[in-house]
């Protein structure tokens, strides 16, 4: 019989399972506390009797991540991890330090199916979904390794969170629960390339998280060229879903826009974007596209002058816009780049 992933279970589920197995309720609380502390084996649960430990080992396993590589930016202290999963797969996570505390960018899948042309993860193919426990483990491992408390989580690492909807929603409920890591929804951002039916589902959950949409273009022709998902759900459909999401949750949406020279950074693109977002409760994050020399389109990032001009136009139309600070530029901090370089070494 396949072992059950105990770290993806809610405390109430463990309580129920223990009750059915005839274990006292306080054992469930003890086990849960150990799991939240980040132990990697039942043997480390020192206040459990040996007999119970062996019974648990026969039914459950504890998911975890091991640090395979750790890079620290000399410029700003940003930390990038290459983690190894129980089955030998690799994922990446990045820890950034801000005035208000530490933020971690975690992965939700090993690879990604979406194939965006500027993205190292997208170009590296898809392997599998992560479990809720593997998402939690990235946070806990980084906390333990650096002796810090992480206050903010962004689902912007490898993978498309809404393509792993069930596990991601479970993770969100787990990580925000008081008895687990207790990181409130307002401290969590989820970024998606725009899987519309899942945006509608997420709207119904009424989570208070920040939804980020990877827009990267303001017309269908350009967006379809760089993001294949746009052939399935076009811009109008995406923005309609965003408007509904805002009305259901009362939360501002953040639009991500990576500036790629000569592709999506013209004055016309800025005007078109402003028209499309007119009147929406939103914010635009312009990202100087980075590390895209691998991309088949021979893409280059836009220069700062061009980006500033783009900002001016958006502002003239009353759109809230910022240029995202680049962190960890010297360590390939954008997700997908490290696993990609590891794969290159392996083959």
Which positions lie near ligand SF4, rule CB under 6 A?
Answer: 112, 114-116, 119, 121-122, 159-160, 193, 214
- Among ligand SF4, ligand SAH, none, the one that 249 touches (CB under a kind-dependent 5 to 8 A) is none
CB of 193 to ligand SAH, least distance (A): 4
Quick one: which segment of 10-18, 187-195, 276-284, 309-317 binds ligand SAH (CB under 6 A)? 187-195
Q: Which is nearer to ligand SAH, 39 or 185 (CB)?
A: 185
Task: Select from 147, 1, 116, 123 the least CA-distant residue to 60.
Answer: 1
Angle at 89 (CA atoms; ends 72, 214), nearest 5 degrees: 65
Determine the Cα angle at 34 with ends 29 and 35, to 5°: 95
Give CA–CA dist 41/116, Å, rounded. 38
Cβ of residue 119: shortest distance to ligand SAH, in angstroms? 4
Q: Is 335 known to be catalytic?
A: yes
Q: CB-wise, 109 or 131, nearer to ligand SF4?
A: 109
Q: Are the C-beta atoms of 111 and 159 separated by less than 8 Å?
A: yes
Nearer to ligand SAH (CB atom), residue 191 or residue 210? 191
By CB under 6 A, residue 96 contacts ligand SAH: no
The answer to whether 119 contacts ligand SAH (rule: CB under 6 A) is yes
Give the shortest CB-117-to-ligand SAH separation in angstroms: 9
Residues numbered 136 to 175 that lie near ligand SAH (CB under 6 A) are 156, 160
**Residue closer to ligand SF4 (CB basis): 121 or 133:** 121
d(CA 195, CA 115): 13
Report the nearest approach of ligand SF4 to the CB of residue 119 (Å).
3
Q: Which residue is nearest to ligand SF4 (CB)?
A: 122
Indicate the residue among 193 and 333 with the shorter CB distance to ligand SF4: 193
Q: Which does 290 bind (CB under 5 to 8 A by kind): ligand SAH, ligand SF4, none?
A: ligand SAH
| Structure tokens given for 117 | 């042309």
Q: How far is the CB of 20 from ligand SAH (least distance, A)?
A: 38
Among 193, 211, 282, 286, which residue sits at the site for ligand SAH (rule: CB under 6 A)? 193
Residue 73's binding partner out of ligand SF4, ligand SAH, none, with CB under 5 to 8 Å set by partner kind = none
Residue among 7 and 301 whose Cβ is closer to ligand SAH: 301
Q: Which CB sits closer to ligand SF4, 8 or 214?
A: 214
Structure-block tokens of residue 64? 């975890």
The count of residues interacting with ligand SAH (CB under 6 A) is: 17
| Of the candidates 298, 307, 345, the residue with the CA atom closest to the CA atom of residue 326 | 307
Interaction of residue 224 with ligand SAH, rule CB under 6 A: no
For the CB of residue 189, give the shortest distance to ligand SAH in the complex, in Å: 10
Which 263-302 positions form the footprint of ligand SAH (CB under 6 A)?
Answer: 287, 289-292
Given 105, 119, 193, 335, the catalytic residue: 335
Q: Which residues contact 142 (CB under 8 A, 6 or more apart)?
A: 79, 81, 93, 95, 104, 148, 150
Positions that interact with ligand SAH (CB under 6 A)? 112, 118-119, 156, 160, 191-193, 214, 256, 258, 287, 289-292, 334
What residues act catalytically?
A: 92, 335
């Amino acid at each position: 019989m396949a072992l059950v992933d105990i770290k993806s279970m809610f405390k109430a589920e463990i309580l129920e399972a223990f009750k059915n197995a005839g274990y006292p309720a306080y054992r469930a609380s003890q086990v849960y506390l150990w799991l939240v502390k980040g132990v990697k084996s039942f043997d480390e649960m020192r206040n459990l009797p040996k007999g119970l430990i062996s019974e648990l080992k026969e039914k459950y396993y504890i998911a975890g991540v091991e640090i395979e590589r750790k890079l620290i930016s000399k410029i700003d202290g940003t930390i990038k991890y290459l983690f190894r999963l129980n089955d030998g797969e690799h994922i990446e996570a990045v820890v950034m330090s801000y005035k208000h505390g530490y933020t971690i960018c975690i992965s939700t899948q090993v690879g990604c199916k979406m194939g965006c042309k500027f993205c190292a993860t997208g170009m590296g193919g898809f392997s599998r979904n992560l479990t809720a426990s593997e998402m939690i483990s990235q946070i806990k491992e980084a906390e333990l390794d650096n002796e810090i408390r992480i206050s903010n989580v962004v689902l912007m690492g490898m993978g498309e969170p809404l393509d792993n909807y069930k596990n991601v929603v479970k993770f969100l409920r787990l990580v925000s629960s008081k008895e687990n890591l207790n990181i409130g929804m307002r401290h969590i951002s989820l970024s998606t390339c725009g899987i519309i039916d899942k945006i509608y589902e997420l709207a119904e959950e009424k989570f208070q998280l920040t939804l980020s949409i990877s827009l990267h273009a303001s017309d269908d022709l350009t967006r379809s060229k760089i993001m294949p998902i746009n052939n399935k759900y076009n811009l109008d459909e995406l923005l309609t879903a965003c408007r509904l999401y805002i009305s259901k949750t009362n939360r501002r949406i953040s639009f991500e826009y990576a500036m790629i020279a000569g592709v999506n950074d013209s004055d016309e693109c800025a005007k078109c974007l402003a028209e499309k977002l007119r009147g929406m409760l939103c914010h635009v994050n312009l990202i100087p596209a980075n590390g895209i020399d691998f991309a088949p389109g021979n893409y280059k990032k836009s220069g700062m002058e061009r980006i500033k001009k783009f900002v001016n136009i958006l502002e003239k139309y009353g759109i809230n816009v910022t240029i995202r600070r680049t962190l960890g530029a010297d360590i390939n901090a954008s997700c997908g780049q490290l696993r990609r370089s590891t794969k290159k070494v392996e083959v």
